[in-house]
Amino acid sequence: MKKILFLLIMASITMIGCTPTSTQQEQTENTQNAVIDAIMARRSIRQYHATPVSRDTLMQIMECGINAANGQNKQSWEVRIVDNSATMAQIQDLMAAGNAELDPAMVKGCMRGAPVMVFIARDLNYDFSAYDCGLLAGNILLSAQSMGVGSIVLGSPVRFINDAVNSADILHILGYSENYELCLCVGLGYAAETPAAKPRDINKVKFID
Ligand SMILES: Cc1cc2nc3c(=O)[nH]c(=O)nc-3n(C[C@H](O)[C@H](O)[C@H](O)COP(=O)(O)O)c2cc1C
């Protein structure tokens, strides 16, 4: 009997210890966590060190990318990673040649000097594929941030490639399947700058009662 009483008392003490009081709950809610830290610390990086990002690190980032929510789990994306400077230069040269009316330095500079470029194409047969690609890119940015890798989403290279007169030559290098269209680029690399956060307008968010 004494033993049972002892066990009951011990169980109650343990339960009291595990049940958060309101103060503990508030503390938990106010405590930063790794995901929130990564979201709030991420900034678009436009200056990079030449230091390469290892393929192990890149694959871990891509695993996070492809684990994004996506419509009907169709995974309506195809991802191509260029992490060698020769191929990057080849693509940039073709982009400049294919947009001859534009300043070549401006066209090449649209990749912001990132040593790794992730080219994301969307499945034209799926109407929500652009959202899938955006969510994939979001996971790439945040997982990269959490691993100390800087990033930037880039729309300009998409325009310069899709609108180029030699678009087919550039896309041939990336080797997408038929019915896939280049949709978004993400630059990755080790940041050589620490930009301040740009202001956000919380008034665009409203509760409707
Ligand atoms: C769809 C999209 C396209 C973008 N295209 C470019 C681009 O072509 N060049 C560039 O320098 N930044 C580009 N950005 C980065 C934005 O300028 C940047 O995210 C925005 O100014 C907010 O700054 P932050 O990312 O540092 O918070 C793009 C971002 C998104 C989401």
Task: Give the up-direction half-sphere exposure of residue 33: CA atoms within 13 A in the CB hemisphere.
Answer: 5
The pLDDT-based confidence of 25 (bands split at 50, 70, 90) is very low
Mutate to test the pocket of ligand 1, among 152, 184, 186, 188 (most ligand atoms within 8 A of CB): 152
Which run of H or of E encompasses 188? strand 180-189
Residue whose CA is closest, atom 31 of ligand 1?
153
Q: What percent of the chain has pLDDT over 90?
A: 85
Per-residue confidence (pLDDT) for residue 112, from 0 to 100: 98
pLDDT digits (tens, 9 = 90+) for 62-75: 999 999 999 999 99
Indicate the SS3 state at residue 194: coil
198 Cβ inside 6 Å of ligand 1:
yes
Per-residue confidence (pLDDT) for residue 2, from 0 to 100: 52
Per-residue confidence (pLDDT) for residue 14, from 0 to 100: 39
47 Cβ inside 6 Å of ligand 1:
no
133 Cβ inside 6 Å of ligand 1:
no
Per-residue confidence (pLDDT) for residue 4, from 0 to 100: 46
Mutate to test the pocket of ligand 1, among 43, 154, 200 (most ligand atoms within 8 A of CB): 154
With contact defined as beta carbons under 8 Å apart, do 186 and 136 qualify? no
Mean pLDDT of 64-87: 98
> What is the domain partition of the chain in residue ranges?
46-189
| Closest of 78, 63, 74 to residue 128, by C-alpha | 74
Whole-number Å distance between alpha carbons of 47 and 7: 62
Question: CATH number of the domain at 46-189, please?
Answer: 3.40.109.10
Burial class (CB in 10 A: 0-12, 13-18, 19+), 38: middle
Distance of CA 73 to the CA centre of its chain: 18
161 Cβ inside 6 Å of ligand 1:
no
Cα→Cα distances 19→24, 30, 65, 127, 135, Å: 9, 18, 36, 46, 36
Q: Which stretches of 19-148 are DSSP H helices? A: 22-30, 34-41, 55-66, 85-98, 104-109, 129-146
Whole-number Å distance between alpha carbons of 70 and 79: 14
State the pTM of this model: 0.87
